[in-house]
Amino acid sequence: MFFPEELLYNEDHVWVEEEAGQATIGITEYLQDEMEQILSVEMPEIGSEIELGDTLATIELPQGVMEIYSPLSGEVLEINQDLVDSPEWLNSSPYEDGWIICVKMTETEELEDLMDADDYTEFVQG
Protein backbone atom coordinates (compact mmCIF):
# COMPACT_ATOMS: atom_id res chain seq x y z
CA MET A 1 0.00 0.00 0.00
CA PHE A 2 1.10 3.52 -0.78
CA PHE A 3 1.01 6.44 1.70
CA PRO A 4 2.49 9.64 0.23
CA GLU A 5 5.24 11.18 2.41
CA GLU A 6 3.94 14.74 2.01
CA LEU A 7 0.56 13.95 3.61
CA LEU A 8 -0.55 13.67 7.23
CA TYR A 9 -2.90 10.92 8.47
CA ASN A 10 -5.25 10.10 11.32
CA GLU A 11 -6.42 6.84 12.88
CA ASP A 12 -9.68 7.03 10.90
CA HIS A 13 -7.66 6.58 7.66
CA VAL A 14 -8.16 10.15 6.46
CA TRP A 15 -5.31 12.12 4.88
CA VAL A 16 -4.57 15.84 4.99
CA GLU A 17 -2.42 17.95 2.69
CA GLU A 18 -1.80 21.33 4.32
CA GLU A 19 -0.59 24.40 2.45
CA ALA A 20 -0.72 28.01 3.64
CA GLY A 21 -3.52 27.46 6.15
CA GLN A 22 -5.66 25.42 3.79
CA ALA A 23 -6.09 21.67 3.95
CA THR A 24 -7.19 19.26 1.26
CA ILE A 25 -8.70 16.14 2.80
CA GLY A 26 -9.41 12.64 1.48
CA ILE A 27 -9.37 8.97 2.44
CA THR A 28 -6.34 6.71 2.36
CA GLU A 29 -5.66 3.80 0.08
CA TYR A 30 -6.04 1.57 3.13
CA LEU A 31 -9.62 2.72 3.75
CA GLN A 32 -10.66 2.70 0.10
CA ASP A 33 -9.37 -0.87 -0.09
CA GLU A 34 -11.97 -1.77 2.57
CA MET A 35 -14.74 -0.33 0.37
CA GLU A 36 -15.24 -2.54 -2.64
CA GLN A 37 -17.75 -0.36 -4.47
CA ILE A 38 -18.70 3.24 -3.73
CA LEU A 39 -22.18 4.18 -4.93
CA SER A 40 -22.31 7.84 -3.94
CA VAL A 41 -20.62 10.53 -1.85
CA GLU A 42 -22.39 13.28 0.08
CA MET A 43 -20.30 16.30 1.13
CA PRO A 44 -20.94 19.48 3.14
CA GLU A 45 -21.93 22.79 1.55
CA ILE A 46 -19.24 25.27 0.51
CA GLY A 47 -19.01 27.94 3.20
CA SER A 48 -20.16 25.65 6.00
CA GLU A 49 -18.11 25.32 9.18
CA ILE A 50 -16.90 21.91 10.28
CA GLU A 51 -15.34 20.98 13.59
CA LEU A 52 -12.83 18.26 14.37
CA GLY A 53 -14.83 15.01 14.46
CA ASP A 54 -17.82 16.30 12.47
CA THR A 55 -19.05 14.27 9.51
CA LEU A 56 -16.94 15.30 6.54
CA ALA A 57 -18.59 13.02 4.00
CA THR A 58 -21.14 10.25 3.85
CA ILE A 59 -20.26 7.39 1.53
CA GLU A 60 -22.95 5.01 0.32
CA LEU A 61 -21.77 1.44 -0.16
CA PRO A 62 -23.74 -1.68 -1.22
CA GLN A 63 -23.56 -2.89 2.39
CA GLY A 64 -24.66 0.42 3.94
CA VAL A 65 -23.46 3.93 4.71
CA MET A 66 -20.05 4.97 6.05
CA GLU A 67 -19.38 8.36 7.60
CA ILE A 68 -15.97 9.97 7.23
CA TYR A 69 -15.07 12.31 10.11
CA SER A 70 -13.11 15.51 9.79
CA PRO A 71 -9.53 15.50 11.08
CA LEU A 72 -9.56 19.32 11.29
CA SER A 73 -11.78 22.30 12.03
CA GLY A 74 -12.38 24.91 9.37
CA GLU A 75 -14.55 26.50 6.72
CA VAL A 76 -15.32 24.44 3.61
CA LEU A 77 -13.76 26.30 0.68
CA GLU A 78 -14.23 23.69 -2.02
CA ILE A 79 -15.75 20.26 -2.51
CA ASN A 80 -14.75 17.74 -5.15
CA GLN A 81 -17.88 18.07 -7.26
CA ASP A 82 -16.51 15.41 -9.63
CA LEU A 83 -17.15 12.76 -6.94
CA VAL A 84 -20.89 13.32 -7.36
CA ASP A 85 -20.72 11.87 -10.89
CA SER A 86 -17.65 9.64 -10.37
CA PRO A 87 -17.60 8.35 -6.77
CA GLU A 88 -15.35 5.50 -7.91
CA TRP A 89 -12.45 7.99 -7.97
CA LEU A 90 -12.23 7.43 -4.22
CA ASN A 91 -11.19 3.86 -5.11
CA SER A 92 -9.12 4.45 -8.22
CA SER A 93 -7.32 7.67 -7.23
CA PRO A 94 -7.64 8.33 -3.47
CA TYR A 95 -4.72 10.80 -3.33
CA GLU A 96 -5.32 12.72 -6.54
CA ASP A 97 -8.72 12.78 -8.28
CA GLY A 98 -10.48 11.33 -5.22
CA TRP A 99 -9.85 14.16 -2.74
CA ILE A 100 -13.05 15.12 -0.88
CA ILE A 101 -12.90 18.71 0.37
CA CYS A 102 -10.62 21.67 0.92
CA VAL A 103 -10.98 23.73 4.11
CA LYS A 104 -9.55 26.94 5.49
CA MET A 105 -8.24 25.73 8.84
CA THR A 106 -9.36 27.55 11.98
CA GLU A 107 -7.29 25.49 14.44
CA THR A 108 -3.87 24.85 12.84
CA GLU A 109 -2.60 23.20 16.03
CA GLU A 110 -4.87 20.24 15.20
CA LEU A 111 -2.24 19.24 12.61
CA GLU A 112 0.04 18.26 15.51
CA ASP A 113 -2.28 15.35 16.34
CA LEU A 114 -1.88 13.78 12.89
CA MET A 115 0.67 11.14 11.88
CA ASP A 116 3.34 11.34 9.22
CA ALA A 117 3.53 8.61 6.56
CA ASP A 118 5.98 6.44 8.56
CA ASP A 119 3.85 6.53 11.72
CA TYR A 120 0.70 5.84 9.71
CA THR A 121 2.34 2.87 7.99
CA GLU A 122 3.25 1.45 11.41
CA PHE A 123 -0.32 2.10 12.60
CA VAL A 124 -1.98 0.15 9.76
CA GLN A 125 0.53 -2.69 10.00
CA GLY A 126 0.29 -2.89 13.80
- Indicate whether 1 pLDDT > 90: no
Q: How confident is the model at residue 126 (pLDDT cuts 50, 70, 90)?
A: confident
Q: What is the reported pLDDT for 108?
A: 94
Q: What is the reported pLDDT for 2?
A: 85
Dihedral Cα 49, 92, 5, 31, nearest 10 deg: 70
Name which residue leads in pLDDT, 53 or 126.
Answer: 53
Provide mean pLDDT across the span 11-32.
Answer: 96
CA 98 to chain centre: 9
Q: How confident is the model at residue 35 (pLDDT cuts 50, 70, 90)?
A: confident
- Indicate whether 59 pLDDT > 90: yes
- Asked if 101 and 71 count as a contact pair (C-beta separation under 8 A), the reply is no
Rg over alpha carbons for the chain, rounded to the nearest Å, is: 13
Provide mean pLDDT across the span 53-61.
Answer: 96
Q: What is the reported pLDDT for 115?
A: 98
| Nearest C-alpha neighbor of 1 from the set 23, 32, 37 | 32
Helix (H, G, I), strand (E, B) or coil at 26: strand
Hey, what domains does the chain have and what are their CATH numbers?
8-118 (2.40.50.100)
Provide mean pLDDT across the span 71-85.
Answer: 96
Q: What is the reported pLDDT for 17?
A: 98
pTM: 0.95
